[in-house]
Amino acid sequence: MPQYSPGDPLPGPLPEWFPRGMALLRDPSLNKGSAFTLRERDMLGLCGLLPPHVSSQEEQVERVLENFRRIDSPLERYIMLQALQDRNEALFYRVIMENPDEMMPVIYTPTVGLACQQYGHIYRSPRGLYVSAADRGKVSSVLRNWPYRDARIICVTDGERILGLGDLGASGMGIPIGKLALYTSCAGVHPRRCLPVMFDVGTNNEALLEDPLYLGMRQRRLTGGEYDGLMAEFLEATQEVFPGIVVQFEDFANHNAFRLLHEYHDRIPCFNDDIQGTAAVTVAGILSSLRVTGGALRDQTFLFLGAGEAATGIADLLTAALVAEGMDEVSARQRCWMVDSRGLVVRSRVTLAEHKRPYAHEHPQVQDFLDAVEILRPTAIIGVGAVANAFTREVIETMTRLNERPIIFALSNPTSKSECTAEQAYGWSGGKALFASGSPFDPVDFEGRRFVPRQGNNSYIFPGVGLGAVTVQASRITDSMFMAAARALAEGVDQADLDQGSLYPSLQRVREVSLQIAVAVARVAFAEDLARIPEPADLDAVMGEQMYDPAYISYVG
């Protein structure tokens, strides 16, 4: 069945299947609510089903905002926006796109975390697809139940490590749903092209297993061959049912995240945002910092607090960038050092997870992060260990003694886990720090200057990467695409941003920046012979035309 919705080109004469009357008002991809014109109401069987006044979309936005702002509870705001998405998709996206600073923390972190914790309790209506342990042998038929044949990007989680909240099993479904809403709002990937998937292999969370309202499989997690077999069947089915569809792995625990990426990145178009998206957004922040310091990437030394998916992903991308500049791989990896819960990651440590080994250098053991700063003299410290307040006054003062402009990224989420606050970073460094954070911080006034810190938010990267990859039908998603995305994002930062200490552009400009990222990713796809469409003469224009616009179209000409 052909499908279209607001944001598509004018459909011409309406086909037989086009819903009318109440069925039309109940279809969120077509519904305009009180904005149906009198002529549409006349021709589509809507007379009497709506209040007489014909609203503009602007009026509807105003009504939504008024209702939204009357609600104090973030979770209730989340529920309200979900209801809007289930009722009128175009209006939902219009509201989010016009108010990103206010809406993104509700549809994504931090509120989506609360929503996942309560998922079985706040569940209203189905959204996305569940592939579960009970579907072994028939996963492709489950995928075929999805109503839209033109799905082009899947975001999938197995719910084992949802944000910093641990194993939430099938309640993790809020994450792919939220993430895909960002693909549409930040980069204009059409909602119909986005498919959220919950890969439900059970949960080891006792509280959920005992919760009568829990909606997932009531069993302990599949592991080993059973897990791998179901995942292989699922990934194979994605390519069979939706040829060339991009798969984004999201919030998988370390032991599966690295393994799955390693195993599949050369076989299907896939990536892991926790590893690669984080890497690109952080590298972009570093490139912006270097515009201020005037330093070269090859002269930096990075010290990470944390050695998990984020740290390894960032270090891998930095290594790839340095190798591309002509440095040998061993020397490039030597630029990155990591401190985990047992101290500095060094070669002599006996038990080290596989993903940490490339960064385990020959060096005596150092237990304390401050000592590591003194000894290694980093130009940048990057906090991704979720250890609150780990960047102490001494750490930041030492960094400021060692560097004219120390790069200090406190990326751990949520705010309560941040390694330091923006105020501490600017205050303790005497206004010298080049600061970025994982959670939002308000502007800081220090000695007559106003600093506007910005979030190293993955939403700057993955939507643009997705738009680019989907538009050119990339057969693989490569590190060079993420590096191109990082460079495009850094180029989107203007001098006025840098002057106020902002290492990222404002979220208000995210669509414009995403478009540039998508174009940069597409160029890499063409250069690396990974695109499955001929290269268009005007790539920028073609990419721009792909972007979903939530403005209503007329259904009756």
The footprint of ligand NAD (CB under 6 A) covers: 164, 254, 274, 278, 281, 305-311, 339-341, 384-387, 411-413, 417, 438, 456-458
| Residue closest to ligand NAD, measured at CB | 308
Output 191 or 306, the one with its CB closest to ligand NAD: 306
Which is nearest to 221 in space by CA: 211, 236, 206?
A: 206
CA distances in angstroms from 404 to 189, 271, 293, 430, listed in the order given: 42, 37, 8, 11
The Cα–Cα gap between 49 and 40 comes to: 12
CA atoms within 13 A on the CB side of 436: 29
Task: Answer whether 83's CB lies under 8 Å from 90's CB.
Answer: no
108 as an active site residue: the answer is yes
**Distance between CA atoms of 408 and 510, rounded to whole angstroms?**
23
Task: Name which of 368 and 512 has its Cβ closer to ligand NAD.
Answer: 368
- For 407, list phi and psi in degrees, rounded to 5: -95, 120
CB of 504 to ligand NAD, least distance (A): 10
Least separation in angstroms between CB 27 and ligand NAD: 36
The H or E element spanning position 178 is helix 174-187
**Please, what is the minimum distance in Å from the beta carbon of residue 95 to ligand NAD?**
24
For β-strands 270-272 and 343-344, DSSP reports them as: unpaired
SS3 assignment for 486-506: HHHHHHCCCHHHHHCCCCCCC
Closer to ligand NAD by CB, 339 or 524: give it: 339
| Nearer to ligand NAD among residue 379 and residue 413 (C-beta) | 413
Marked catalytic residue, from 32, 78, 93, 108: 108
Cα separation, 130 vs 464, in Å, equals 26
**Closest approach of ligand NAD to the CB of residue 173, in Å:** 19
Cβ proximity to ligand NAD: between 82 and 458 the closer is 458
Report, in Å, the least distance between residue 517 CB and ligand NAD: 15
Identity of the residue, 68 or 460, whose beta carbon is nearer to ligand NAD in the bound complex: 460
- Of the candidates 32, 78, 119, 179, the residue annotated as catalytic is 179
Could you write out the DSSP letters of every residue in 400-447?
Answer: HHH-SS-EEEE--SSGGG-SS-HHHHHHHTTT--EEEESS----EEET
Are 291 and 490 a contacting pair, CB within 8 Å? yes
Distance of closest approach, residue 294 Cβ to ligand NAD, in angstroms: 25
Please give the Cα distance from 289 to 513 (Å, whole number).
Answer: 18
User: Tokens for 372?
Assistant: 């590591």
Examine the residue annotation and report whether 179 is marked as an active-site residue of this protein: yes
The residues carrying an active-site annotation are: 108, 179
